[in-house]
A = this chain, B = another copy of it.
Amino acid sequence: MVGLVIVSHSENLAKSVVELTSMMAADAKIAPAGGLEDGGFGTSFERIQNAIEEVYSDDGVIVLMDLGSAVMTTEMVIEMMEDRKIAMADCPLVEGTVVASVDAVGGMGFEEIMADLEKVRDMRKL
């Protein structure tokens, strides 16, 4: 199963997004990587790296991020793991996580889920 990592500047936000997936995709392989190592606001290279290791398999890992520097820190981690199948998804954090976790539990592959996440931005709520 494709693994998912949720990168946020807030430890609680990353954990809450993971928790939300238990509502509709309880078996997802998903790990939070929120906040700095001391729990403060920011993104931690080490937390992202550990989260990727936790859910990694040959099926790959897709990383979803909240804001600007979350992207930069994630990029640095992925550069260090360049032989692995890891990609960052350019989509809304919560909405993308819901789609990706349902897709992954449903057996969709890495490229299929990445393509599905490209459409999340266009989803309408109203």
A122 contact set on B, CB distance < 8 A: 121
A57 contacts chain B at the CB level, 8 A cutoff: no
A33 contacts chain B at the CB level, 8 A cutoff: no
> Given the known A-B contacts A12-B15, A19-B12, A23-B10, are A124 and B90 also in contact in the complex, defined by CB atoms under 8 Å?
yes
Chain copies in complex = 2
What is the bound-complex CA distance between A58 and B122, given in angstroms? 32
A95 near B98 with CB under 8 A, answer no
Interface size range on A against B: 20 to 34
A92 near B90 with CB under 8 A, answer no
Partner of A71, one of B12, B90, B93, B125: B125
Query: Nearest chain-B residue to A14 (Cβ)?
Result: B16
A90 near B10 with CB under 8 A, answer no
Q: Most B CB atoms within 10 A — which of A41, A98, A125?
A: A125
A65 contact set on B, CB distance < 8 A: 125
Interface residues of A (CB under 8 A from B): 8-10, 12-13, 15-17, 19-20, 23, 41, 65-68, 71, 88, 90-95, 98, 121-122, 124-126
